[in-house]
Amino acid sequence: MSKVTYLLGAGASAGTYPVVDDMANAIGHIARQLNGIVNTERGKTDRNNELMEQFEIARKDMVALQEGCEGHLSIDTYLRKLFLSARDKSDLHKYHQAKSSIVLFFELYRYYSKTIDKRYDAFLAALLKEGDLTMPDSMNIVSWNYDYEIERAYKNYDNRLLDIDQAFNVLNISYKNSRHCGDLRNKFGIVKINGTIGYHNQEYYQKIGLGARINSEIVEYEQQGQHLFPIIQNYIELTYNNPWMPSISFAWDQDSGERKIMENLKHAVEETELLIVIGYSFPYFNREIDRMLFNNLVTMKRKGYKIIVQDPYNAESIIENIMGLNNTIRSSSFNIKLDKKQFYIPHELK
């Protein structure tokens, strides 16, 4: 079966989460919100005092993550430094702590910014089949993002789903460090190369997110502490008191799950005749995997493939980066789309 494959980067979620240049400020804003709650709630009751100790730990973790971002080009660069500076694999505490802090940031940012990116909403509205609400088997999504925006958007369409975990199963999502790695051949699926916001244990069971409400109503500032209590408690429990590990997994991290996603990546690309790149700049950190993807595309399809780059600002430089991954890719294989209001949907998808 010939397929259309979407390759998504951080820009695909720019309508909901901050881009690289804004990340440190956004993390700092969350730290200040936590500090305000601590100052408001501390001293009310003994129970509040215990909870505020946890909030204070979370606030300090946010401050440390903010400082790390401010001192480096990107959050990925900061995490790469922590990984490389560890003396050995048993000395990765700061690295894993920073990953946990990223999980907390994304959950809290989503709490305060409750919108779902309209592009994901429009994308699903156009492609979901009536009745069973499934995506076309003639397409795949390969994502470098560890957020779960498409899962959130999908849950809004299927009111039978109780939580994000169920959306993962329905959408046939594969990700590092998990028990699940669904087959992409002849069916729709999503591969999340950088893992996902959440935690896994030694048996590779997964906890997605920290329990932030998907459709939480806007609440008064004085009530925010109560709404955030379960999120912070889950964060402290999973980060400090349990044998759980953050499920964010960068390109340089090994996949320790029972089933590996690299084979799924190969299957996704080997059936691809049209590759659509959205919001992805091909950073150096990811080059080894990106090269494998495009080598497979060229080897399996030879000249029988097309690549669409949807980017209103940097399409030419993205094309240059892609051509640098495999020198047999020609400029005639590319088409540029400039629309930034919605994801491009080709006529090949039926």
Contact 171, 192 (CB under 8 A): no
Taking CA 147 as the corner, what is the angle to CA 145 and CA 151, rounded to the nearest 5 degrees? 110
Q: What is the pLDDT of residue 215?
A: 41
Sorting pLDDT into bands at 50, 70 and 90, what band is 7? very high
- What is the arithmetic mean of pLDDT over 28-52? 86
Which is more confident, 269 or 95? 95
Contact 206, 246 (CB under 8 A): no
**Residues 6 or more apart whose Cβ sits within 8 Å of residue 313:** none
**Residues 6 or more apart whose Cβ sits within 8 Å of residue 126:** 345
Does the pLDDT value for residue 221 go beyond 50?
Answer: no
- In the chain the domains, ranked by start, together with CATH numbers, are 3-15+116-198+256-337 (3.40.50), 20-112+203-242 (no CATH)
- What is the arithmetic mean of pLDDT over 296-302? 78
Percent of the chain whose predicted confidence (pLDDT) is above 70: 91
Contact 302, 274 (CB under 8 A): no
Which is more confident, 51 or 222? 51
Q: How far apart are CA 194 and CA 253, in angstroms?
A: 9
In this predicted model, what pLDDT tens digit does every residue of 309-331 receive, in sequence order? 999 999 999 999 999 999 999 99
Q: What is the pLDDT of residue 157?
A: 92
**Beta-bridge mates of residue 207:** 199
Q: How far apart are CA 138 and CA 120, in angstroms?
A: 18
End-to-end CA distance of the chain: 13
Structure tokens at 46: 């003994």
Any alpha helices (H) in the chain, and if so which ranges?
Answer: 23-41, 46-70, 75-85, 93-112, 118-127, 149-157, 164-170, 221-240, 262-270, 287-301, 315-325
Taking the C-alpha atoms of 164, 166, 168 and 172 in order, what is their torsion angle to the nearest 10 degrees?
-160
Does the pLDDT value for residue 214 go beyond 50?
Answer: no
- What is the arithmetic mean of pLDDT over 186-202? 89
Give the mean pLDDT of the chain: 87
Contact 209, 167 (CB under 8 A): no
Percent of the chain whose predicted confidence (pLDDT) is above 90: 58
Does this model's pTM top 0.75? My answer is yes
Q: Is residue 304 classed as helix, strand or coil in its secondary structure?
A: coil
Return the H-helix or E-strand segment holding 139.
strand 139-143
Sign of the CA dihedral with 30 first, then 34, 40, and 45 last = positive
Q: Which of 200, 254, 199 is nearest to 89 (CA)?
A: 254
Contact 68, 23 (CB under 8 A): no
**Residues 6 or more apart whose Cβ sits within 8 Å of residue 93:** none
